[in-house]
Amino acid sequence: MELKTILEALYRNRSQAHLANDPLSFCHRYQDPPDQEVAGLVASSFAYGNVKIIKKNLAVIFEVMGPSPRRFVERFDPEEGSRLFAGFKHRFNDARDLCALLFACRIMIEEGGSIEKWLLRFYTPADEDLTGALSGFSEAVKNLDLSPVFGPGGVPADSYFPFFFPSPASGSACKRLCMYLRWMVRPADGIDLGIWQGISPAQLVIPVDAHIQRICRFLGFTSRKQADWRMAREITRALRELDPADPVKYDFSICHLGISEGCDGKDRLKCAACPIGDICSAGPT
């Protein structure tokens, strides 16, 4: 099949330069899976906006967290955290939201032993995908007792902590959570980590950002215009036809056509040299 052949070639041509230009690169700083698991949730949570700013702000966070993110969150004290991260800002998330995220990680590890085991409480192996697991996980995290961070009144209205945990139940594409799960669940291949064994890669849903939305429309994987959960599932089902066991295998490669290679579907010179130009509706005619 021409489509699968071209996407397989695109997958093989992923590079460490692409990885260096991706928030996932922060997980590769650590060798121990418990550190990678925590680093992944933090890195993916702030993976929105300009990639240079994302990397800059993540570098600040991980510098403070030190050599072991897992050990840092196990010992995390919100009062101390407010001093350590004073002045932190990433678009509309601030130091208070970051401290709440780190404290939530601490609670999940204390209650479940790991973030994976805590999430698995909401997972059903027989489900087509992770719609139910993500919905349950997000709602449960938002219902944690975060009063040591926010005070007895709960998460205040002006906090953007809930932004870290969108839910398919609300129609959100849940891009950052789907990306985190891809990093953790897909088999280790030099890019993704494959450190979670309790979830099947066949159930992953593609993280839909602006690049995936645009390029997958060009490839005919979706006809929808809104980047929502329905689009994410539609694209994933199309990819599942190519690889039922690993449908989000091509996500990183496709996404970096935009992030690292500058694909916007408008530059004809780039289209002419694009590795998927022959199958892309925006490609050279």
More confident call, 13 vs 58: 58
- C-alpha–C-alpha distance, residues 112 and 119, integer Å: 8
Residue 127 confidence (pLDDT) above 60: yes
Backbone dihedral region for residue 234 (phi beyond 0: left; psi -120 to 50: alpha; all else: beta) = alpha
Of the pLDDT bands very low, low, confident and very high (cuts 50, 70, 90), residue 266 is confident
Burial of 168 (0-12, 13-18, 19+ CB in 10 A): buried
Average pLDDT, the chain: 94
pTM of the model: 0.94
Residues 278 and 258: their CA atoms lie apart, in Å, by: 17
- State percent of the chain over pLDDT 90: 86
What confidence score (pLDDT) does residue 279 get? 73
Residue 64 to residue 53: CA distance in whole angstroms: 17
**Two structure tokens written together for 236:** 């994933």
Which one is predicted more confidently, 283 or 277?
277
- Any idea how long the chain is? 285
Residue 262: pLDDT band (50, 70, 90) is confident
| Average pLDDT estimate for 57-80 | 98
> Residue 222 has what pLDDT?
94
Q: What per-residue confidence (pLDDT) applies to 283? A: 59
Q: Which residue has the tokens 């800002």?
A: 89
Distance of CA 194 to the CA centre of its chain: 14
Residue 119 structure tokens:
């999430």
pLDDT of 268 over the 90 cut: no
The answer to whether the CB of 180 falls within 8 A of the CB of 204 is no
The tens digit of pLDDT for each residue in 147-204 reads: 999 999 899 999 999 999 999 999 999 999 999 999 999 999 999 999 999 999 999 9
